[in-house]
Amino acid sequence: MTGTGTGTDTAGGGPTLIASDLDRTLIYSPAALALDMPDADAPRLLCVEVHQGKPQSFLTETAAALLTRLTAAPHAVFIPTTTRTRKQYRRISFPGRPAPYAICANGGHLLVDGETDWDWHAQVRRTLAAECAPLAEVRDHLRRSADPRWLLKVRDAEDLFTYLVVERDLLPDTWAKELADWAGPRGWTVSLQGRKLYAVPRPLTKSAAVAEIARRTGAGTVLAAGDSLLDADLLLAADTGWRPGHGELADTGWSAPHVTALEGRGVSCGEEILRAFARHCAV
């Protein structure tokens, strides 16, 4: 993992890490599918998550086949990389070989063969305690400043960060920026994704957890994909990356020389990202 975006393999033949965000990057809720075509032309879908008895997340069947091939490749390591909690992540049933590593809670938890690496988690907590305002302070500010007219829920994630579920149409356009201005000096960052507004400690990053996996595996190259501002650090640290034509990064025009801005939107873009991973891994 070079962290320079040059694509240089500095580890002398180590495996390629494929670190991908999940929601609205690889997997899609019914509301995010964006099937802008006649129903008869829509791709066949595979449900990969059920929640409370209802289908929750999907891949196209073509994307599922590509992911199966990637997870079977001996020279590639697929790493689900998500802001989801461990409980939310474990609801997903991916096709193919189980991932040996997964990153949850935006880097706060590193799973190894499905089990929490508590040493990593303790290291993360020490960093947050030293560099950021406490979670309670940020959560209390959110509760006080949010308007009940558009606030639906306040949730904590793994006692690491917090988020609001909002009525997006009623949320004032300036509110997220005002919150970011308040949170920044306290070591926190803000991300608005669909109906969820996240407040996350700045050192709590996906890229830090990916760097730890690269160290353990001796990885030579890191590929990455993501759609939100919480994925920007991951994309910047990777050798090659992709972002969809939807999401926060697309909406803000975010770019980097080694990150391809795809035009596709919705579930078909998840398939496009997996095709790009497969091409780079020659599988």
User: For the chain, which residues make up each domain, given as ranges?
Assistant: 16-125+203-281, 133-201
Kindly report the number of other CB atoms within 10 A of residue 218's CB atom.
11
pLDDT at position 6? 32
Return the structure tokens found at 280: 């780079």
pLDDT at position 36? 86
What's the CA gap between 125 and 64, in Å, rounded? 35
Residues 6 or more apart whose CB falls under 8 angstroms from that of 62 comprise: 43, 271
Overall pTM surpassing 0.75 (yes/no): yes
Residues paired with 54 in a beta bridge: 51
Q: What is the CATH number of domain 16-125+203-281?
A: 3.40.50.1000
Beta pairing class for 240-243 and 221-225: parallel
Please count the CA atoms within 13 angstroms of the CA of 130 that sit on its side-chain side: 7
8 Å CB contact between 278 and 66: yes
Residues 6 or more apart whose CB falls under 8 angstroms from that of 96 comprise: 67, 68, 69, 70, 71, 72, 78
- Kindly report the backbone phi and psi dihedral angles of residue 196, in degrees, each rounded to the nearest multiple of 5, phi listed first: -110, 130
Name which CATH class applies to 133-201.
Answer: alpha beta
* Residues of the chain under the 50 pLDDT cut: 1-11
Phi-psi region of 27 (alpha: psi -120 to 50; beta: other; left: phi over 0): beta
pLDDT at position 5? 39
Q: For residue 169, how far is the Cα from the chain centroid?
A: 24
Return the structure tokens found at 251: 């909406």
List helix spans (H) across the chain.
Answer: 61-72, 86-89, 118-131, 135-145, 175-183, 206-217, 232-237, 248-251, 267-281
Q: Which amino acid type is present at position 115?
A: E
The answer to whether 16-125+203-281 and 133-201 have equal CATH topology is no
